[in-house]
Chain A
Amino acid sequence: MFEILKKQELNPTVTRMDIYAPAVAKKAEPGQFIILRTHADGERIPLTIADFDRETGRVTVIFQVVGATTERLNHMNVGDCLQDFVGPLGRATHTDGLRKVAVVGGGVGCAIAYPVAKKLHSLGCEVHAIVGFRSKELVILEKEFEENSTRTVKMSDDGSWGTQGLVTDALRTLIESGEQYDEVITIGPLVMMKFVCALATKYGVKCVASMNPIMIDGTGMCGGCRLSVGGKTVFACVDGPEFDGALIDFDEAIERSSMYRDFERHRYEESCNLFAKEVE
């Protein structure tokens, strides 16, 4: 079974977990994801592989508590086992031939941006990590980014950490100051990625965005994860999760992501109540 080896709270709503899954660790590459279920009858949720160790069979995931399933996952502890854990799914980040890249992460998306930055950095690529959070309490992986990039630009909405402003402000400043990137890779909230891609495209820089739509199987069987890219329908779980940011229909993706908002809010409240009762 898929045992939880380590659990660490990165901030009040974001947790890092190491899971024992040797078959996944053996094949994992940055940019890929897994699907897990916490318990029998549980929901299948995709999480990006944040790190892995082929030797020890460890796969690291970082998740934000946003719904009933992540809430339940967050209540599991070292020694507990996950019901299911399948992967690695999706295509790995394409890193060939990149010499200078801006990795732009926002919020918990930084957990996904981090392994990409790490891989590029290890390949000798010049990595400018632009990471943004709403405020200081929500910052994650600060040290990891500093260790795995040539330059780390820290942004926060309220100015409590790094510079006040949006990641797009930082990216614009860098590009305008003459930095020439082979590629901008962005991972974070859809609205942020939409603007990062628009900005990069405006300056003629290729931009890749990592998409995380609603998924079920993660094998290309249901089409629930579909997106429009360059006017064509693609399945994020098998064709992605990374796509050319200039071609993604972000407005459609934003709309589709809210399909089950009411259901999820309801389930989340229920599960919070349930856990509150258990604590009483």
Chain B
Amino acid sequence: MANMNPKKNPMPVQDSAVRSRNFDEVALGYTAEQAMDEAKRCLNCKNRPCVAGCPVKIYIPDFIARVAEGDFAGAYRIIAEASSLPAVCGRVCPQENQCEGKCVRGIKGEPVAIGRLERFVADWHNANASGSVERPAANGHKVAVIGSGPAGLACAGDLAKKGYAVTVFEALHLAGGVLVYGIPEFRLPKAIVQKEIEGLKALGVEVVTNTVVGKTVSIDELMQEQGFEAVFIGTGAGLPKFMGIPGENLKGVYSANEFLTRINLMKAYRADSTTPVQHAKRVAVVGGGNVAMDAARCAKRLGAEVYIVYRRGMEELPARREEIEHAMEEGIVFKTLCNPTEILGYRNEGDRRDPKNGFVTGMKCVEMELGEPDASGRRRPVVKEGSEFVLEVDSVIMALGTSPNPLIKSTTKGLATEKWGGIVANEQGLTSREGIWAGGDAVTGAATVILAMGAGKNAAAAIDTYLQGK
């Protein structure tokens, strides 16, 4: 009999007062009993709207049925057919817009907690599965993967399983892309990402860090001199945007990428870190996406009072619902319908050597109201006359979005890109150059982990077809 409780089994979480002072994972995960109880809420409906909502088409009701029976290994096998990174996606997917957004149970109550179940199954697998993977027989073909974010990792994994000799080239000293430098530990423990990468290495994937493709080596050299027959570009969208308002280069103004990289990749939150980060008293984070929430919640954990400044309304915040809720519980203040116009800094005219000179003291903002709908169909925010005010802060973090880094384009002959920098690629990820595929944020612009992973898998299948036909 289905469990007809209209509400999800609540996710056990660290208490908000405690967690807003540490970097440990916020959501603790279901127990086996909670997972089985939640799984019984699934009606196993015939037309499976949830599957249609999943960007990689996981057979959701099937895996949930296994969970309900307590067959967690079976559930894992079903998920793994479609997803390379379930422990990651279970934690960071915007389920409310995808599978759970389509769930029939969501019409009269809360949808089945598909994301939480996915996470449960993946964590169960990581804790219980026997480690030994069989290395597939080599098929003699070499493929290069550039970038080690979810797109690159998924592509490398699928190709390695088919016997390709895959080398992943990563610019930073650590593999994982946004999963290690952007998304914080309290939302996605780095040990999980590490485990995925160890898994790839066990399959024979070679991970070469400290290699900036386009600088250290070019794609053409990889293909012509080093014998790679196909290349997958998964270099993400790492180039931060600024607003272009006065005062953006004052001390205490960060791009979210810088702030998060200092904290996540360089561990600046630890007392013994050699990398500094400002421990501000009052921080304004400009933007409303996941990146803004992550930056805000990190700043909170470093001890600041934190404001999210976003020019549209609460309803329009593009971040995952759960992150917004967690941020509010942690005491982050949302100043929506609010737009910065200038960042103010300290200036002691009498003493040019005053060490406080050039540090942020506040941010000038205007209030907004919603006007006519714009091209995206969302009502366009317009400035409310005479609403200017100063938000007193000593640090500002710009989380306005990112675009692809132009390096690959500028160093790869004949690689077509869009005006905004995205690499042009077809459904399978094939670019304008034979033998070169691309996927993830490098193609779509900043999007999601699951879309990047899906693009990596699609490209892996296409590369396999290409090289087998050669």
Measuring CB to CB, which residues of chain A are less than 8 angstroms from any residue of chain B? 23-24, 27, 37, 41-44, 68-69, 83-89, 216-217, 219-224, 226-228, 233, 238, 252, 255-256, 258-261, 263-264, 267
Interface membership of B257, Cβ < 8 A: yes
Tell me the complex Cα distance, A252–B251, Å: 9
Query: B251 touching A216 by the CB < 8 A rule?
Result: no
Shortest beta-carbon distance, B39 to chain A, in Å?
Answer: 40
Interface hit among B21-29, B210-218, B311-319, B425-433: B210-218
Q: Which residue of B lies closest to A89 (CB)?
A: B215
Pick the residue among B210, B217, B249, B258 that contacts A216 (CB under 8 A): B258
Interface membership of B14, Cβ < 8 A: no
Query: B407 touching A238 by the CB < 8 A rule?
Result: yes
By the criterion of a CB under 8 Å from any partner CB, how many residues of chain B are at the interface?
38
Tell me the complex Cα distance, A68–B273, Å: 11
Shortest beta-carbon distance, A245 to chain B, in Å?
Answer: 18
Contact partners of B275 in chain A: CB under 8 A: 43-44, 216
Query: B276 touching A220 by the CB < 8 A rule?
Result: no
Contact partners of B278 in chain A: CB under 8 A: 259
Shortest beta-carbon distance, B462 to chain A, in Å?
Answer: 28
Tell me the complex Cα distance, A259–B276, Å: 10
Query: A222 touching B216 by the CB < 8 A rule?
Result: no
Query: B266 touching A84 by the CB < 8 A rule?
Result: no
Tell me the complex Cα distance, A228–B253, Å: 14
Interface membership of B405, Cβ < 8 A: yes
Query: B358 touching A219 by the CB < 8 A rule?
Result: no
Query: B407 touching A86 by the CB < 8 A rule?
Result: no
Measuring CB to CB, which residues of chain B are less than 8 angstroms from any residue of chain A? 171-173, 181, 209-212, 215-217, 238-240, 242, 244, 248-249, 251-252, 254-255, 257-258, 261-262, 266-267, 273-276, 278, 355, 357-358, 405, 407
Query: A264 touching B405 by the CB < 8 A rule?
Result: no
Known pairs A83-B173, A216-B275, A221-B261. 5 more at Cβ < 8 A?
A: A41-B274, A44-B173, A220-B407, A258-B251, A264-B276
Query: B251 touching A217 by the CB < 8 A rule?
Result: no
Tell me the complex Cα distance, A223–B256, Å: 9
CB pairs A–B below 8 angstroms (18 shown) = A23-B211, A27-B217, A41-B273, A44-B266, A44-B275, A69-B274, A86-B210, A86-B211, A216-B258, A217-B171, A221-B181, A221-B240, A222-B258, A226-B242, A227-B249, A255-B357, A256-B251, A263-B276
Q: Which residue of A lies closest to B170 (CB)?
A: A86
Shortest beta-carbon distance, B10 to chain A, in Å?
Answer: 37
Shortest 3 CB-CB contacts between residues of A and residues of B: A255-B358, A222-B258, A43-B274
Contact partners of A221 in chain B: CB under 8 A: 181, 238-240, 257, 261, 405
In the complex with contacts A69-B274, A221-B239, A264-B276, A226-B249 CB distance below 8 A: yes
Tell me the complex Cα distance, A105–B362, Å: 38
Tell me the complex Cα distance, A68–B276, Å: 12
Query: B258 touching A88 by the CB < 8 A rule?
Result: no
Tell me the complex Cα distance, A88–B407, Å: 13
Shortest beta-carbon distance, B70 to chain A, in Å?
Answer: 41
Tell me the complex Cα distance, A148–B39, Å: 75
Query: A260 touching B173 by the CB < 8 A rule?
Result: no
Tell me the complex Cα distance, A261–B354, Å: 13
Contact partners of B258 in chain A: CB under 8 A: 216, 222-224
Query: A222 touching B209 by the CB < 8 A rule?
Result: no
Q: Which residue of B lies closest to A221 (CB)?
A: B238
Tell me the complex Cα distance, A252–B249, Å: 8
Tell me the complex Cα distance, A263–B274, Å: 9
Tell me the complex Cα distance, A221–B262, Å: 12
Contact partners of B240 in chain A: CB under 8 A: 221-223
**Interface of B (DSSP majority class):** loop
Query: B172 touching A217 by the CB < 8 A rule?
Result: yes
Shortest beta-carbon distance, B292 to chain A, in Å?
Answer: 16
Query: A84 touching B242 by the CB < 8 A rule?
Result: no
Query: A68 touching B274 by the CB < 8 A rule?
Result: yes
Shortest beta-carbon distance, B396 to chain A, in Å?
Answer: 13
Contact partners of B173 in chain A: CB under 8 A: 37, 44, 83-84, 86
In the complex with contacts A43-B266, A228-B249, A256-B249, A219-B171 CB distance below 8 A: yes
Tell me the complex Cα distance, A86–B214, Å: 12
Query: B261 touching A217 by the CB < 8 A rule?
Result: yes
Pick the residue among A27, A88, A223, A260 that contacts B242 (CB under 8 A): A223
Tell me the complex Cα distance, A221–B180, Å: 14
Contact partners of A88 in chain B: CB under 8 A: 215-216
Tell me the complex Cα distance, A68–B455, Å: 42
Tell me the complex Cα distance, A41–B275, Å: 9
Contact partners of A37 in chain B: CB under 8 A: 173
Shortest beta-carbon distance, A215 to chain B, in Å?
Answer: 10
Contact partners of A69 in chain B: CB under 8 A: 274
Query: B358 touching A23 by the CB < 8 A rule?
Result: no
Query: A84 touching B261 by the CB < 8 A rule?
Result: no
Shortest beta-carbon distance, B450 to chain A, in Å?
Answer: 22
Query: A89 touching B212 by the CB < 8 A rule?
Result: yes
Tell me the complex Cα distance, A272–B269, Å: 22
Contact partners of A85 in chain B: CB under 8 A: 210
Tell me the complex Cα distance, A225–B259, Å: 13
Tell me the complex Cα distance, A233–B267, Å: 27
Tell me the complex Cα distance, A263–B272, Å: 12
Query: A233 touching B249 by the CB < 8 A rule?
Result: yes
Q: Which residue of A lies closest to B259 (CB)?
A: A222
Contact partners of A89 in chain B: CB under 8 A: 212, 215
Contact partners of B242 in chain A: CB under 8 A: 223, 226, 233
Tell me the complex Cα distance, A56–B252, Å: 43
Q: Which residue of B lies closest to A218 (CB)?
A: B212
Tell me the complex Cα distance, A255–B274, Å: 21
In the complex with contacts A85-B210, A221-B239, A260-B216 CB distance below 8 A: no
Query: A219 touching B407 by the CB < 8 A rule?
Result: yes
Query: B239 touching A220 by the CB < 8 A rule?
Result: yes
Residue in B173, B240, B252 whose Cβ sees the most chain A Cβ within 10 Å = B173
